[in-house]
Chains A and B, each alone.
Chain A
Amino acid sequence: MNEYMIIGQYVPGNSFVHRIDPRTKITIIFFFVIFVFFANSVGSYGILTAFALITTFITRIPLKFILKGLTPVWFLIIFTFSLHLIVTKDGTVLFNLFGWEIYSGGVIQGVAISLRFFLLILFTSLLTLTTTPIEITDAIEDMLAPLNKIKFPVHELALMMSISLRFIPTLMQETEKISKAQSSRGVDFRTGPLKERIKAVVPLLVPLFVSAFKRAEELAMAMEARGYRGGEGRTKLRLLKIQSIDIWVYLLFTCVIIGLFLLRTY
């Protein structure tokens, strides 16, 4: 296993979307998720779909990664679509499917709801596809900074998130090592009845937790030896900076939203 393995869905690249400031991306996605619920006509859905698809295209991420990001919801999309198809009884009867009468209203609703689903998932997964978890963490820290005023420990939380993200690959290696060591002593994790397999996990977890305690202690000591004393006055290695492309993205998104409101029916 690779020490620099990246968890999650991130696909490295240097596209326009990759270069947008993560804070901009999060803000846009936040509003997108809200405004999707305002779409109610062909035109308004059209403009959002076009916006999402064009953005996806610009990322130059291979289709297979994008589809992989959508896997958890394919079932849901198909399920909702068929449900609306069968249950909704508005409009005219279009055709008869194995004794079920399919109404035009059902088709329209089914398509609209599934499309909304699809847009939401596609757009949120664009964030994780083009932004590393650590960038998102930095962005969250920066965006939540006002909460510092009410004594909410934003810096600590962000620091913990980075530590977690940093340690996942390390602990992954550790798990691999321990499971190999235990396998060589005859512990079997992969086969056998469920009860035995659960029992087999205990000799894996114990050393894993013990070593995690040890690592935590070492890291805490190392941090303090280097003078870590909490968030105040700390400077950053990775600085976030709003650039001209971010302004353009905001402008473009505002236009899309204005278009959405012009095209929706009231």
Chain B
Amino acid sequence: MSSKRTLFLVEVAIFTALALLLDIIPFLAFKVWPNGGSVSFAMIPIFIVAFRWGLKGGLTAGLLWGLLQLVIEPVVVHPLQGFIEYGFAFTALGLAGIFAKPVQQALKDGKLAKRFIYIMLGVLLGTFLRFLAHFYAGIVFFGHYAPEDQPVWLYSLLYNGSYMLPAFVLSTVVVFFLFIKQPRTLLQTAS
């Protein structure tokens, strides 16, 4: 058996790779938003890591995802925007890991409804914080570029909300299904 530490490292890395991958595959991602943002299954691996390894795993995976996005396809138009949208936004997803223990407990007890609620809460927390980051960055960054009397916040809200909301629903449903189909795999090595 390999030690937890190395396994943690490798597993988080590979699942982050999956997140990037699910965003790239054309028939799995809906990319119609002109300035970035997509509805895809990409957040799911991050949530799985978060529910499996807890807060630490979730945050690490999120941070890693953000860094990789930055390395692969950066859209940076302002230093602060870069930090918020790549550093903070993705890492925030990992906060879903707060609910790791309750989810695992509900899984052991076989309580379906409870499991669904905790999964949903976790995914909601993660996506909501990520949305806030993009929303705020949209304002800061448009505030810099747009003329003064524009309702910048509304534009940012609609733009970012239009892909975060479907992504949230999608992630909740699919993560839940995965935990029904493969509960053992997801629990097995988790601490």
Q: Chain A: residues with CB nearer than 8 A to chain B?
A: 7-9, 30, 33-34, 37, 72-73, 75-76, 80, 83-84, 87-88, 113, 117, 120-121, 124-125, 127-128, 133, 136-137, 140, 156-157, 159-161, 163-165, 167-168, 171-172, 175, 189-190, 198, 201-202, 205-206, 208-210, 212-213, 215-217, 219-221, 223-224, 228, 230
Cβ–Cβ contact A128 & B72, under 8 A? yes
Q: Which of the candidate stretches B63-71, B114-122, B125-133 sits at the interface with the other chain? A: B63-71
Interface residues, chain B, CB within 8 Å of chain A?
A: 1-3, 5-7, 9-18, 20-21, 24-25, 27-28, 34-36, 41, 44-45, 48, 60, 63-64, 67-68, 71-79, 82, 145-147, 149-150, 170, 173-174, 177-178, 181-182, 185, 189
- The reply to whether B72 and A73 form a contact with Cβ atoms under 8 Å apart is no
In the assembled complex, the Cα of A213 lies from the Cα of B67 at a distance in Å of 22
Q: How far in angstroms is the closest Cβ of chain A from B17?
A: 4
- Residues from chain B with a CB closer than 8 A to the CB of A219 are 10, 14
Min distance, Cβ B134 to any Cβ of chain A, angstroms: 14
Docked CA distance A164–B17 (Å): 5
- Interfacial chain B residues near A137, Cβ < 8 Å: 71
Chain B, Cβ-Cβ closest to A217? B7
> In the assembled complex, which residues on chain A have CB atoms less than 8 Å from the CB atom of B16?
160, 164
Q: Which residue of B lies closest to A166 (CB)?
A: B17
Nearest residue (CB) in B for A162 is B13
How many Å lie between the Cα of A230 and that of B8 in the bound state?
A: 12
A201 and B182 form a contact (CB under 8 A): no
- CB contact between A171 and one of B17, B28, B146, B170 (< 8 Å): that residue: B17
Contact A216 B11 (CB under 8 A): yes
Interface pair B73/A201, CB less than 8 Å apart: no
Main secondary structure of the interface of A (DSSP, over half): helix
Q: Given A133-B68, A215-B14, list of 10 further CB < 8 A pairs?
A: A33-B79, A80-B145, A157-B60, A161-B13, A165-B68, A167-B13, A167-B17, A201-B41, A209-B182, A213-B189
Contact A164 B68 (CB under 8 A): yes
> A84 and B72 in contact (CB under 8 A), knowing A157-B63, A163-B13, A201-B41?
no
Least Cβ–Cβ distance between A8 and chain B, in angstroms = 4
Task: Contact check, A223 vs B147: say whether CB atoms are below 8 A apart.
Answer: no
Looking at B15, B79, B170, B189, which has the most chain A CB atoms within 10 Å of its CB? B15
Known: A137-B71, A212-B15, A217-B7. A84 touches B147 (CB 8 A): yes
Interface pair A198/B17, CB less than 8 Å apart: no
